[in-house]
């Protein structure tokens, strides 16, 4: 049995909240727990070479959120199995072609243009022999969970999704955990709760662990003077989360990093026709030879917005053709699709990929799944009205093949969405449209847990608005736990091999209970940490 959760948050006076707010935001700004402000959108598109002129603290919680210690450790213990699972999925070409491709009846790439373009690019590269030039793949993963309550079962954890691309906020999650430790040490949280003590704050060394994964790939590439390429969005506000990885790579491993957007790479990157090395222009020293890349770390390319033209896709595929190790490769990115998450819940599929994993471990993994199905697999096969989904819509969320938050359809909004699918013209039938979506049962989070959520005042806020925000907003909350891991894997001497994998840290994102979506970068959540409950 897992621990029961306490009434939360402990009571703070207005003055205590204001003092915590001031201490927390000052510490955050002093320790790189930062964002670029929204005015970043006014910067030139070539922002990787434009220095930041201002910063704000990231959205944060004032106090950590209670979480059962046993369930936290369960999530950590499962990560190694998840690392192995998704590594093997990424190496199963037939499986990915069937469910993510454009040529299979079940393939979502047939109806989802973004998925289809990525799959088609992958198919072209493999037909050219691209994966014979570099057979290794790197995954920096994050498995996200919510606490789930049900009348007849103990509190449990259920997986929201598994992220295989741009699994962000590792370094900033480490810093929010350190912030909460600082507040406990500096003011003992005014003794508002005996639970707010150091023994209940789990260690968080996510930065070191993620960097170890990147350094492992760099080492496997075998050219010490090569650099790691961070592919970033041109107007990235979450730059500091990425910069901490860059600093750690240099200071701990003596590995240098360069940052480029797809727009920049379109003119600066090329693949050597003889060695297939990825070479990028040295813009800091134009007369110097180009920079060889060992590992490509994608913090972009997970949304259609990153590909405004077909030439952006061609640049992405150029990178895939090189012998640099990709994090993620196109097949690993496709493996993170919601369709794959759904297929993995079907009977016998886990056993297909994890034949060497014990029954108990498989059942623990399976216990984290919520019920899922494809919309085109509605029980009555009547996709023009989706009766099964309509009947159960208040207990469902519909998910497309997208990352980054803000894409799902929840509960009351589902019937109107299904109507819109049914109204699609005959040139694109509702049956085909529905293939791109999965239905997932809603995770029922524990009620009555609250917190104090602090966001930086938006530009142009009046003094009255700033004063009103002191102490943060008290709200009933939902907190999502993410467990990070990495895996370096591929075909070694013709055999599917995992060269190394580890569980490397954790993240908590907290939002007000009224919000369905959960992204920090998209403005729904704040960064948080845990107080473990026995």
Is 59 in contact with 525 (CB distance < 8 Å)? Answer: yes
pLDDT of residue 384: 56
**Residue among 158, 227, 323, 509 flagged as catalytic:** 509
**Chain-centroid distance, C-alpha 236:** 15
Peptide bond into 265 cis (omega under 30): no
DSSP 326-379: EET-HHHHHHTSHHHHHHTTSTTHHHHH-TTS-HHHHHHHHTTPPPEEEGGG-T
- Kindly state the helix (H) or strand (E) to which residue 496 belongs, with its residue range: strand 495-512
**Residue among 87, 163, 216, 234 flagged as catalytic:** 163
Q: 185, 195, 255, 188: which is closest to 219 by C-alpha? A: 255
Q: Which domains are delineated in the chain? A: 14-370+443-533 (no CATH), 371-442 (3.30.1490.50)
Q: Which residues are annotated as a binding site?
A: 142, 161, 163, 165-168, 236-238, 242, 299-302, 338, 399-408, 410, 440-443, 480, 509, 511, 517, 520-521
**Residue among 404, 469, 512, 523 flagged as catalytic:** 404
Q: Which residues are annotated as a binding site for Mg(2+)?
A: 161, 163, 403
Token pair in block for residue 173 = 């999650």
**Residue among 342, 403, 433, 501 flagged as catalytic:** 403
Cα Rg for the chain, rounded, in angstroms? 23
**Residue among 123, 161, 248, 485 flagged as catalytic:** 161
Q: Around Cβ 162, how many Cβ atoms within 10 Å?
A: 21
Token pair in block for residue 323 = 């012998």
Does residue 110 have an active-site annotation? no
Q: Which residues are annotated as a binding site for substrate?
A: 142, 165-168, 236-238, 242, 299-302, 509, 520-521
Q: Around Cβ 439, how many Cβ atoms within 10 Å?
A: 25
Does residue 305 have an active-site annotation? no
DSSP 191-226: G--TT-SGGGS----HHHHHHHHHHHHHHHHT-TT-
Q: What is the dihedral of CA 80, 83, 87, 92, to 10 degrees?
A: 80
Does residue 163 have an active-site annotation? yes
Sign of the alpha-carbon dihedral angle for 92, 94, 97, 99: negative
**Residue among 17, 175, 235, 338 flagged as catalytic:** 338
Does residue 168 have an active-site annotation? yes
pLDDT of residue 46: 47
Q: DSSP label at 110?
A: G
C-alpha distances out from residue 201 to 59, 182, 328, 525, 534, Å: 20, 11, 32, 21, 12
Sign of the alpha-carbon dihedral angle for 388, 365, 159, 344: negative
pLDDT of residue 287: 87
**Residue among 87, 143, 168, 322 flagged as catalytic:** 168
Does residue 399 have an active-site annotation? yes
* Per-block mean pLDDT, blocks of 10 residues, the chain (534 long): 81 95 97 85 54 88 97 98 98 97 92 95 96 96 97 93 96 98 97 95 98 98 98 92 98 98 97 97 91 98 96 98 98 97 96 95 96 75 71 94 85 91 52 82 95 85 74 91 98 93 97 70 80 96
Does residue 142 have an active-site annotation? yes
Q: Is 134 left (phi over 0), alpha (psi -120 to 50) or beta?
A: beta
Q: DSSP label at 287?
A: T
**Chain-centroid distance, C-alpha 129:** 30
Pairing of strands 495-512, 525-528: antiparallel
Q: Can you tell me the distance from the alpha carbon of 26 to that of 12, in angstroms, rounded to the nearest whole number?
A: 19
Does residue 248 have an active-site annotation? no
Over the stretch 57-94, which tens digit does the pLDDT of each residue have? 999 999 999 999 999 999 999 999 999 999 999 999 99
pLDDT of residue 425: 40
Is 367 in contact with 75 (CB distance < 8 Å)? Answer: no
By the 10 Å C-beta count (0-12 exposed, 13-18 middle, 19+ buried), 360 is classed as exposed
Q: Can you tell me the distance from the alpha carbon of 198 to that of 206, in angstroms, rounded to the nearest whole number?
A: 18
């Amino acid at each position: 049995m897992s621990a029961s959760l306490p009434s939360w948050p402990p009571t703070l006076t207005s003055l205590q909240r204001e003092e915590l707010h001031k201490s927390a935001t000052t510490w955050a700004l002093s320790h790189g727990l930062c964002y670029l402000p929204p005015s970043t959108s006014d910067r030139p598109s070539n922002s990787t070479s434009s220095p930041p002129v201002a910063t704000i603290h990231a959205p944060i919680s004032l106090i950590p959120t209670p979480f059962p210690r046993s369930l936290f450790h369960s999530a950590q213990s499962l990560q190694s199995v998840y690392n192995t699972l998704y590594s093997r999925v990424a190496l199963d070409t037939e499986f990915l072609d069937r469910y993510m491709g454009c040529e299979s009846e079940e393939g979502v790439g047939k109806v989802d243009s973004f998925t289809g373009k990525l799959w088609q690019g992958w198919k072209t590269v493999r037909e050219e022999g691209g994966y014979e030039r570099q057979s290794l793949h790197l995954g920096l993963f994050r498995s996200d969970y919510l606490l789930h309550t049900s009348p007849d079962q103990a509190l449990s954890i259920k997986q929201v999704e598994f992220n295989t691309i741009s699994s962000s906020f590792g370094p900033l999650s480490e810093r929010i955990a350190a912030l909460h430790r600082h507040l406990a040490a500096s003011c003992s949280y005014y003794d508002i709760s005996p639970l707010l003590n150091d023994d209940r704050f789990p260690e968080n060394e996510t930065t070191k662990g993620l960097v170890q994964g990147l350094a492992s790939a760099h080492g496997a590439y075998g050219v010490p003077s090569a650099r790691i390429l961070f592919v970033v969005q041109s107007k990235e506000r979450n730059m500091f989360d990425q910069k901490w990885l860059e600093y750690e790579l240099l200071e701990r491993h003596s590995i240098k990093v360069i940052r480029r957007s797809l727009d920049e790479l379109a003119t600066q990157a090329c693949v050597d026709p003889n060695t297939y090395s990825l070479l990028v222009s040295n813009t800091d020293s134009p007369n110097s030879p180009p920079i060889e890349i060992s590992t490509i770390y994608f913090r972009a390319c997970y949304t259609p917005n990153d590909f405004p033209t077909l030439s952006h896709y061609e640049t992405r595929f150029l990178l895939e053709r090189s012998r640099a190790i990709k994090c993620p490769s196109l097949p690993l990115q496709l493996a993170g699709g919601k369709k794959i998450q759904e297929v993995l819940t079907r009977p016998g599929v886990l056993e297909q990929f994890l034949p060497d994993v014990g029954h108990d471990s498989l059942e623990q993994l399976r216990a984290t799944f919520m019920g899922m199905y494809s919309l085109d697999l509605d029980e009555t096969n009547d996709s023009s009205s989706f009766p099964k989904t309509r009947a159960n819509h208040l207990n469902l969320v519909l998910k497309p093949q997208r990352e980054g938050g803000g894409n799902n359809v929840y509960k009351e909004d589902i019937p109107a969405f299904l109507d819109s699918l049914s109204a699609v013209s005959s040139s694109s039938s509702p049956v085909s449209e529905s293939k791109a979506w999965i239905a997932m049962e809603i995770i029922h989070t524990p009620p009555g847990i609250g917190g104090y959520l602090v966001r930086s005042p938006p530009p142009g806020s009046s003094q009255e608005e700033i004063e009103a925000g002191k102490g943060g907003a008290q709200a009933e909350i939902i907190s999502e736990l993410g467990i990070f891991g990495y895996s370096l894997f591929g075909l070694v001497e013709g055999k599917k091999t995992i060269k190394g994998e580890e569980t490397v840290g954790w993240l908590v994102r907290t939002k007000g209970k009224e919000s369905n979506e959960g992204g920090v970068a998209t403005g729904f959540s704040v960064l948080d940490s845990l107080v473990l409950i026995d």
